């Protein structure tokens, strides 16, 4: 067997899972050939040794072998260097990260003009893995300055640049690091990218609740001769408002209203003098960084200020801004729709919130519609929950039923799946606390005493949104069942339900049934010690969902024969447009 064949054999052995054997065999080869040990081993032997040790995680050994390889054969293929480089960046030791920088410099010099964009991408990913911001920024600079990353021309090139820039952002874990990344990128990229970079930088200031940093970013933009756009000022407004600090709130109000005033003036100028549109608002004669005005508000500005005043219950401001928005040429979007719906909800005008939603999402022919986001649907469920909880509005025919709103939610989810940001839309309806939307929906079905609908809703959340039932959902369901279980009592007993001991007794009874079913299900699962801990979150969630599904059927079966129970569930399933939706691992004929 030649040395080349031996090298290929050891590599195959290593990749087939026999790592220890391959490493041991290589080391044995290395020390057994005395002539090579004196005169120098042949390159193929050293190359495979460096690779195997690098892949195995023997970082220092792989580097020593690599150095020996290039000491003896300076012009050898540098691909082995990349393997050793990645071993260093994958290490948890900072010393190895410093050595990785040396390997990067050495490899780049040795390859010279033979470097490729793939090489730079590998170096960039390596330093990102090591979380070495300084080195990752250096690679990005070298990539741009060396002409490997084309920064002008087609849209595809711009996307390529921004994709790599966004990888760098992963290391921008605070405003200081994000500032460092942004300034570095601005220093090497042409002005066409600066607006995008400034925008990302501003977003970071918002996330970090750092309005001072946001203001400084605007100042940097002005000093560099870049005209801040409405988007950048909206970011400043968000940063100011999120602090909840009174002086910052007042600043946000002042800037926001000035922007809205500019939008109104722009409308007037548009009707009298089209040439005046787009006038710069930076007076370069008054010195760098002096803002003489603000840009005109867009729909997001209106939404931010309207939402702010709505939370302060300043309805007169909200109504005024709504009228002003209608008079501008600003196209509505999901943000402004949500604010208007939320305002209607806060005022108790629940059916009007639904009217706003239907009008904007199903516009008349020739009008531009709005595609709702997750927050839109969550707002609708909140509105319906409040409406059903109010005696004055619970029977309003202008409101959707829980089943109708669930059908709308499923239709929206089906449409949003085809979007590139589908997951963001799903997270939007779930909210920060995934259990919140489940509780909203369960309360709605509880008010209408629709047990079959509740069951379908739980399975829709699981199969369409990957949201599993919470303990709170189980408690809401138990209260609903306690009331439904009163159906067998007389009218007078039911009328006194909430004012008598029947409430407590019935709750105790339905909770007892739930606990019995839980014990029986766990007994059937017959989990051995330690097996429960091995279950995934999804498996645990499905156990809870199947338990609730069995529970609903058991309670319904107390009043109806099993075939009627299954017919009720099937009717609910078809009513919301999911006739094939799974509804648990037991049907009404199987439950006790």
CA dist 3 and 33 (Å) reads 12
Mean pLDDT for the chain overall: 85
Q: CA nearest 180: which of 233, 240, 135, 129?
A: 135
Of the two residues 3 and 521, the one the predictor is more confident about is: 521
Report for 79-88, 200-209, 281-290: range of highest mean pLDDT: 79-88
Alpha-carbon distance of 414 to 426, in angstroms, equals 11
Give pLDDT tens digits for 232-272: 999 999 989 988 889 999 999 999 999 999 888 877 766 55
Percentage, residues of the chain above pLDDT 70: 89
Q: Is domain 1-114 annotated with CATH 3.40.50.1970?
A: no
Nearest to 140 by CA among 132, 149, 131: 149
Pick 410 or 27 by higher pLDDT: 410
Chain segment 8-58, per-residue pLDDT in tens: 888 888 888 888 889 888 888 887 765 555 456 788 889 999 999 999 989
Q: What is the mean pLDDT of residues 300-324?
A: 87
* Residue with tokens 């049934």, as numbered in its chain: 513
Q: What are phi and psi of 591, to 5 degrees?
A: -75, 160
Give phi and psi for 296, each to the nearest 5.
Answer: -70, 145
Dihedral, CA of residue 487, residue 492, residue 496 and residue 501, to nearest 10: -70
**Residue 199 Cα to chain centre, angstroms:** 19
Please determine, for residue 353, whether its predicted confidence score (pLDDT) is greater than 90.
yes
The per-residue pLDDT for 40 is: 62
pLDDT at 346: 86
**Model pLDDT, residue 372:** 93
Amino acid 329: pLDDT: 74
pLDDT exceeds 50 at position 278: no
Class of residue 136 by CB neighbours under 10 A (exposed 0-12, middle 13-18, buried 19+): buried
Token couple for 397: 């025919």
Yes or no: say if 484 and 509 are a contact pair by the CB < 8 Å rule. Answer: no
Q: How many CA atoms lie within 13 A of 424 on its CB side?
A: 5
- Collapsing DSSP to helix, strand or coil, 245 comes out as coil
Residue 372 three-state SS: coil
Q: Provide the pLDDT for residue 151.
A: 66
Q: What's the confidence (pLDDT) of residue 289?
A: 34
pLDDT reported for residue 285 = 34
With a cut of 70, say whether residue 282 has pLDDT above it: no
Give pTM, 2 decimals.
Answer: 0.67
As beta bridge partners, residue 282 has 291
pLDDT at 256: 93
Taking residues 368-393, report their average pLDDT: 93
Q: Any idea where the domains of the chain sit in the sequence?
A: 1-114, 172-312, 433-575
Per-residue pLDDT averaged across 346-361, rounded?
Answer: 93
């Amino acid at each position: 067997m030649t040395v080349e064949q031996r090298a290929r054999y050891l590599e195959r052995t290593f990749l087939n899972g026999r790592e220890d054997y391959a490493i041991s065999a290589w080391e044995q080869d290395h020390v057994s050939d005395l002539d090579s040990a004196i005169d120098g081993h042949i390159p193929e032997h050293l190359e495979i040794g460096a690779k195997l040790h690098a892949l195995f995680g023997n970082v220092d050994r792989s580097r020593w072998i690599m150095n020996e390889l290039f000491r003896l054969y300076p012009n050898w293929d540098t691909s082995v260097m990349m393997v050793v480089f990645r071993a260093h960046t994958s290490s948890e030791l900072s010393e190895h990260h410093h050595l990785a920088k040396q390997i990067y410099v050495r490899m780049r010099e040795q390859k010279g003009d033979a470097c490729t964009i793939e090489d730079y991408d590998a170096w960039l990913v390596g330093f990102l893995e090591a979380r070495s911001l300084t080195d990752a920024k250096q690679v990005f600079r070298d990539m741009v300055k060396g002409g490997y990353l084309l920064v002008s021309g087609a849209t595809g090139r711009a996307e390529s640049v921004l994709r790599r820039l966004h990888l760098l952002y992963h290391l921008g874990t605070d405003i200081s690091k994000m500032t460092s990344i942004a300034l570095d990128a601005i220093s090497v990229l042409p002005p066409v990218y600066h607006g995008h970079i400034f925008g990302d930088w501003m977003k970071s200031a918002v996330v970090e609740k750092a309005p001072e940093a946001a203001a400084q970013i605007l100042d940097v933009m002005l000093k560099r001769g870049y005209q801040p756009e409405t988007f950048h000022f909206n970011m400043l407004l968000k940063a100011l408002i999120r602090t909840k600090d009174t002086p910052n709130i007042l600043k946000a109000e002042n800037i926001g209203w000035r922007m809205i005033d500019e939008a109104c003036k722009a409308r007037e100028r548009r009707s009298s003098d089209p040439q005046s549109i787009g006038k710069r608002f930076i007076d370069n004669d008054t010195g760098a960084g002096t803002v003489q005005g603000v840009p005109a508000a867009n729909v997001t500005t209106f939404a931010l200020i309207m939402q702010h005043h709505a939370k302060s219950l300043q309805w007169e401001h909200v109504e005024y801004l709504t009228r002003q928005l209608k008079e501008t040429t600003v196209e509505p979007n999901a943000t402004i729709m949500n604010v208007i719906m939320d305002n209607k909800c806060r005022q108790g005008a629940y059916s009007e919130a639904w009217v706003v939603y239907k009008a904007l999402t199903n516009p008349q022919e020739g009008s531009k519609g709005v595609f709702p986001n997750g927050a839109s649907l969550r707002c609708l469920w909140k509105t319906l929950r409040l409406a059903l909880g109010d005696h004055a509005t619970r029977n309003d025919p202008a409101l959707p039923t829980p089943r109708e709103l669930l059908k709308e939610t499923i239709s929206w989810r089906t449409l949003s799946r085809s979007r590139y940001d589908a997951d963001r839309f799903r997270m939007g309806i779930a909210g920060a606390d995934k259990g919140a939307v489940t509780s909203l929906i369960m309360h709605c079905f509880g008010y209408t005493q629709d047990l079959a609908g509740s069951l379908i809703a739980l399975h829709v959340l699981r199969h369409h949104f990957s949201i599993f039932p919470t303990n709170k959902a189980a408690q809401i369901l138990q209260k609903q069942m306690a009331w439904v279980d009163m159906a067998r009592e007389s009218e007078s007993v039911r009328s006194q339900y909430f004012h008598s001991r029947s409430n407590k007794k019935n709750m105790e009874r339905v909770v007892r049934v739930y606990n019995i079913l839980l014990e029986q299900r766990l007994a059937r699962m017959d989990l051995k010690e330690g097996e429960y801990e091995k279950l995934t979150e999804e498996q645990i969630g499905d156990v809870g969902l199947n338990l609730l599904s069995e529970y609903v059927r058991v309670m319904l079966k107390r009043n109806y024969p099993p075939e009627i129970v299954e017919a009720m569930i099937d009717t609910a399933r078809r009513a919301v447009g999911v006739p094939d939706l799974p509804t648990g691992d037991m049907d009404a004929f199987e439950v006790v």
